[in-house]
Amino acid sequence: MTVALDRRYRSVPARLFGSPAFRMVGKRLLMAIPIMLGVSVLTFWVLNLIPGNAAQQLLGAEATPEQIRALEAQMGLNEPAVSRYFDWLGGAVTGDLGRSFVSGQDVAGQLGERLTVSAELTGLALIASVALAVPVALLAARRPDGLFDRVSMFVSVSGLSVASYVLALVLVLVFAVRFAVLPAIGYVPFAEDPVENLRGMVLPATAIAVPLFCFYTRFLRGDLVDQLQGQDYIVTAQAKGIGPWQVLLRHAFRNSSFGLITVVGLNLSTLIGSTVIIESIFAIPGLGQLMLQAINTRDVLVVQACVIVFAVVTVLANLITDLLYAVLDPRIRYGSG
Amino acid sequence: MSGERADTLAPPGSGRDAGRALLEVRDLRVRFSRGGRRVHAVNGLSYRLNAGEILAIIGESGSGKSVSARTLMGLLPPSAQVSGSARFEGTELLGMPEREMRGWRGAEIAMVFQDPARSLNPTMRIGAQITEAIRAHSDMSRKQAAARAVELLKLVHLPAAERRFYEYPHQLSGGMRQRVVIAIALAGEPRLLIADEATTALDVTTQAQIMELLLELQQRLGMAIILISHDLGLAASYAKNVVVMYAGRAVEYASAEELFAHVRMPYTQALLGAIPLLEREPHALLPVIPGQPPDPAALPAGCPFRPRCAAATDACLEPPPFEEHEPGHWWACWHPAKDPAEDPARDPGEPGGAHARPVKDGVQG
Q: Is A143 on the interface with B (CB under 8 A)?
A: no
Kindly determine whether residue B132 and residue A334, on different chains, have CB atoms separated by under 8 Å. Answer: no
B77 touches chain A (CB under 8 A): yes
Categorize the per-residue pLDDT at A276 as very low, low, confident or very high, splitting at 50, 70 and 90.
confident
Residue of A9, A236, A336 lying closest to B113 (CB–CB): A236
Nearest chain B residue to A251 by CA distance is: B121
Q: In the prediction, which pLDDT does A333 show?
A: 66
How many C-beta neighbours within 10 Å does residue B16 have?
6
Neighboring chain B residues of A336 at a CB cutoff of 8 Å: 170
**Contact residues for B332 (Cβ-Cβ < 8 A; gap 6+):** B249, B250, B251, B252, B265, B303, B319, B320, B321, B322, B323
> Which sign does the torsion angle of CA A246, A321, A282, A156 carry?
negative
Per residue in B276-319, pLDDT tens? 777 777 777 777 788 888 887 888 888 888 888 888 888 888 88
Residue A296, C-beta contacts closer than 8 angstroms, at least 6 positions apart: A57
Query: Percent of chain A at pLDDT above 70?
Result: 92
Tally of structural domains, chain B: 1
* A179 phi, psi to nearest 5 deg: -100, -15
Predicted local confidence at residue B165, as pLDDT: 94
A:B CB pairs within 8 Å:
103
Q: At a CB cut-off of 8 Å and minimum separation 6, what does B256 contact? A: B56, B235, B236, B239, B240, B241, B242
- pLDDT confidence band for A19 (50 / 70 / 90): low
pLDDT of amino acid B180: 95
Higher pLDDT, A278 or A58: A278
Containing structural domain, residue B286: 256-361
By DSSP bridging, strand B37-50 and strand B21-34 are antiparallel
Return d(Cα B133, Cα B145) in angstroms, integer: 9
User: Inter-chain contact B123–A334, Cβ cutoff 8 Å?
Assistant: no
Q: Do A5 and B115 touch (CB under 8 A)?
A: no
State which residue of chain A sits closest to B143, comparing Cα positions. Answer: A3
Summarised one tens digit per residue, pLDDT across range A240-258 is 999 999 999 999 999 999 8
CB B309 within 8 A of CB B292: no
Q: Identify all chain B residues contacting A9, using CB atoms and an 8 Å cutoff.
A: 166
- Averaged pLDDT, A160-183: 87
Pick A242's closest partner by Cβ from B73, B119, B136.
B136
Chain A contact set for B133 (CB, 8 A): 240-242
Question: Which residues of chain B make contact with A328, given a CB cutoff of 8 A?
Answer: 123
Cβ distance A240 to B184 less than 8 Å, yes or no, reads yes
pLDDT interval class at B262 (50, 70, 90) = confident
- Beta sheet of B21-34, edge-to-edge order: B37-50, B21-34, B80-88, B91-92
pLDDT-based confidence at residue B19 (cuts at 50, 70, 90): low
DSSP notation for A182-234: S-SS----TTT-HHHHHHHHHHHHHHHHHHHHHHHHHHHHHHHHHHHHH-HHH
**CA pair distance B41, B247, nearest whole angstrom:** 7
Stretch A226-251: mean pLDDT, rounded? 91
**A63 versus B195: which is more confidently predicted?**
B195
* Averaged pLDDT score across all residues of chain A: 84
* Of A8, A241, A251, Cβ closest to residue B137: A241
Query: Would you tell me how many other CB atoms lie within 10 Å of the CB of residue A266?
Result: 14
CA A21 to chain centre: 22
Q: What is the pLDDT of residues B220-233, one digit of tens each?
A: 998 999 999 988 88
User: Which candidate from B127, B133, B150 shows the least CB-CB separation from A240?
Assistant: B133
| Nearest CB to A240; choose among B106, B127, B143 | B106
Contact yes or no for A331 and B137 at CB 8 A = no
The predicted pLDDT at position A106 comes to 85
ipTM for the predicted complex: 0.81
Average pLDDT over residues A322-337: 70
Contact call for residues A224 and A141 (beta carbons, < 8 A): yes
At A55-81, the pLDDT tens digits run: 777 777 777 888 888 888 877 777 788
Cα–Cα distance between B171 and A263 in angstroms, integer?
28
A327 touches B at CB < 8 Å: no
> Rg of chain A's alpha carbons, rounded to an integer?
25
Please give the single-letter amino acid code of residue B238.
Y
The domains of chain A are located at: 14-102+297-337, 106-216+261-292
Q: How far is A191 from chain B (nearest CA, A)?
A: 42
